[in-house]
Amino acid sequence: MDPHLWDSAIQQIATLTHSSGGILMGQSGLHEALYFTHHTNVSEESIRQLGSRHVLNPWTQYMWTTSPVGVAVPTDRILPAADLRRTAFFDEVLRPSDVSHSLMIGLTQKTEFGVGVSLNRPFRQGPYGEAEQRLLTALAPHLRRSVQLGFRVDAYKALQHQAYESLDRLAIGVILLDRRGKIVFANAAALALDDARGPLRLGRRSVSHTSSLHTRRIEALVQKSLQGTPMAAISVPRSDDSYPLTILATPMRGRDVDRLAAASLKDAAVLLFIVDPASKVGVSPRLLMEAHGLTHAEANVAVAMSAHGTIPDTARALGVSPNTVKTHLRNVFSKLGIGHQAELARLIGLLRVVNQPAPPASAAVRR
């Protein structure tokens, strides 16, 4: 669960096997890449040389091709110490850490990736014997389970981060509430509505409005969802009398809760969507280029036109002539299969659901 504990675990195993140090490493012989290490009494220069020049070395090649997973192998069986000392691998990787003998064991091994442990000794201690081999082989199942659990935890963390990041990319506000109405997550778009000029307040306990009347309406909306109403919605005013916000609420389904449990959001019970018609979120020209085959210039014109509304204003904003805007606009209409600026504005409006670029993940509430 805690990868930082590997260093002390390797140290304890090294002590039990009368080793000077050891290393747990994840690497790919196929890609000749060293992905991670946890080690004790191994020099940083040795790690650097191993990763940059010697991922494929006499020891790892044997372990990849010949040794089964879970079986401890003394490296003197692979290559005698006298022969090893004549290799560049010894000079650049082993010598800086005073290593001449190792006891190696593979923990996971696939075509493109493997994890193994190497215990190390200097030349004066001599090679490893059968007692050390039996001890490391006996520890192998526990080490393998620990490595595999670590991979799963890391995968869940990656999924959790990806889920947060995806929600932060949405221009629509997203808030997850637990059964008490307490916020367990709010994305960046929702947080943006909680400022000095915004109508909402995202406190530690609940979602509220600057008006107590509309706070009660939000609370009633949440209660409807907790009671099983599939979808309910209200609109709440802004303080500046501009377009009101629309708040939609829906209960979390069982499979949604299961999915969010991996992201530490297992208490989520209600999902709120907040639609802000006055949002100034822009659209990346790249989206239009990828989706509809527009050139960069055409995409810029399409986005600017939706923001400024007229050809003269668009030309001024882009620093080009009105005729250039007209030419690009004809191409945009042709590629998008539309004939009017109103249709272009509608399409751009639909694309505003995605925020470009994504705000940092730290902007979202994680409770």
Q: Helices H, strands E: what count in the chain? A: 15, 13
Closest by CA to 167, choosing from 241, 68, 257, 272, is 272
Higher-confidence position of 265 and 275 = 275
* Pair 237, 213: CB distance under 8 Å: no
Task: State the chain's mean pLDDT as an integer.
Answer: 82
What are the tens digits of pLDDT across the range 188-247?
888 888 876 778 888 766 888 888 899 999 999 999 988 888 888 898 888 666 678 889
Higher-confidence position of 168 and 133 = 133
Confidence of residue 364 (pLDDT cuts 50, 70, 90): very low
Torsional sign, CA 175, 181, 182, 184: negative
Examine the pLDDT at 266 and tell me if it is beyond 90: no
Report the SS3 class of residue 116. strand
Mean pLDDT of 31-35: 86
CA 19/CA 131 separation, integer angstroms: 13
Alpha-helical (H) ranges within the chain are 6-16, 44-53, 58-65, 75-78, 81-84, 88-89, 130-168, 188-191, 212-226, 254-261, 285-292, 296-308, 311-318, 322-336, 341-351
* The pLDDT value given to residue 261: 43
Dihedral class, residue 267 (left if φ above 0, else alpha if ψ from -120 to 50, else beta): alpha
CA 281/CA 361 separation, integer angstroms: 18
CA 312/CA 322 separation, integer angstroms: 6
Examine the pLDDT at 181 and tell me if it is beyond 90: no
* The pLDDT value given to residue 162: 58
Report the SS3 class of residue 294. coil
**CA-based radius of gyration for the chain:** 30
Token pair of 31 as six digits: 């890609």
Mean pLDDT of 297-326: 88
* The pLDDT value given to residue 339: 82
Report the SS3 class of residue 183. strand
| Range scoring the smallest mean pLDDT among 53-67, 173-187, 321-335 | 173-187
Confidence of residue 258 (pLDDT cuts 50, 70, 90): very low
Dihedral class, residue 98 (left if φ above 0, else alpha if ψ from -120 to 50, else beta): left
CA 75/CA 355 separation, integer angstroms: 55
41-52 in b/e form (b: 16+ CB < 10 A) is bbbeebbebbbe
Examine the pLDDT at 264 and tell me if it is beyond 50: no
